[in-house]
């Protein structure tokens, strides 16, 4: 049985790793959709699809998990979004999502929709981790070690800080 899990993984954090480990015990293969793959270099989506792919690949190398990481582009056309995903991924029967729109779209196409539980959402949240990266708080303990290395390699923290600088007319 193959299942689909979509996220933006900006960045890939320990909550993401926990949920993937949990799902992998329930299914044969996981398709990890890298959502909004066209987005990067913004404060909400700082990392490219390739950089997020590195975070996922290097982390999951340490685990016995059968998965495919597939970039998924935003099409801004909800009625055909399921077909768009299907055109990019291996076939699957089950989707894990907490998002009500994703749930609705896949339910209407007769997929089995499951809701993953959240682990330590107080700390394991992409939004909170990006905020810490920006304001200089410790964030490294919230992501897998390999993700720290990828972000160092691409000088990701300085990227986020540069992106937050105001333009002349905003000063
Ligand atoms: P952001 O704040 O940028 O939206 P996020 O932490 O919500 O980041 P996403 O990339 O939006 O991360 O989430 C991808 C998937 O991971 C979603 O299905 C979401 O339900 C799940 N997820 C996110 N945080 C956790 C967590 N702490 N524990 C388990 N699953 C999580
Ligand atoms: Mg989210």
- Calculate how far, in angstroms, residue 7's C-alpha sits from the geometric centre of ligand 2: 7
The domain spanning residue 66 has which CATH number?
Answer: 3.40.50.620
Residue 4, Cβ neighbours under 10 Å: how many?
Answer: 27
153: its two tokens: 């390699």
Taking all residues of the chain, what is their mean pLDDT, rounded to a whole number?
A: 97
Instruction: Please state, in angstroms and rounded to a whole number, the distance separating the CA atoms of residues 165 and 90.
Output: 41
Does a structural domain hold residue 171?
no
Query: Which residues form the domain of 134?
Result: 2-162
Nearest CA to ligand 1 atom 13: 7
* Number of independent structural domains in the chain: 1
Assess whether the C-beta atom of 43 lies below 6 angstroms from ligand 1. Answer: no
Per residue in 113-138, pLDDT tens? 999 999 999 999 999 999 999 999 99
Does a structural domain hold residue 32?
yes
pLDDT value for 166: 84
Does a structural domain hold residue 168?
no
Nearest CA to ligand 1 atom 5: 126
Contact (Cβ atoms closer than 8 angstroms) between residue 24 and residue 67:
yes
Integer angstrom CA distances of residue 22 from 38, 78, 102, 159? 28, 29, 20, 33
pTM of the entire predicted model: 0.97
């Amino acid at each position: 049985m193959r299942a689909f899990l979509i996220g933006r993984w900006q960045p890939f954090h320990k909550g993401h790793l926990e949920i993937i480990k949990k799902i992998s015990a329930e299914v044969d293969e996981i398709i990890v959709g890298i959502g909004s793959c066209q987005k990067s270099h913004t404060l909400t989506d700082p990392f490219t699809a390739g950089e997020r792919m590195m975070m996922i690949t290097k982390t999951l190398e340490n685990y016995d998990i059968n998965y495919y990481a597939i970039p998924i582009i935003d099409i801004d056309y909800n009625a055909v979004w399921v077909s768009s995903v299907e055109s990019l991924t291996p076939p699957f029967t089950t989707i894990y999502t907490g998002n009500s729109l994703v749930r609705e779209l896949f339910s209407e196409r007769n997929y089995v929709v499951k809701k993953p539980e959240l682990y330590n959402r107080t700390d394991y949240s992409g939004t909170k981790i990006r905020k810490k990266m920006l304001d200089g708080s410790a964030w490294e303990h919230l992501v897998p070690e390999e993700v720290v290395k990828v972000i160092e390699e691409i000088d990701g923290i300085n990227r986020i800080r540069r992106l937050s600088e105001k333009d002349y007319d905003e000063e």
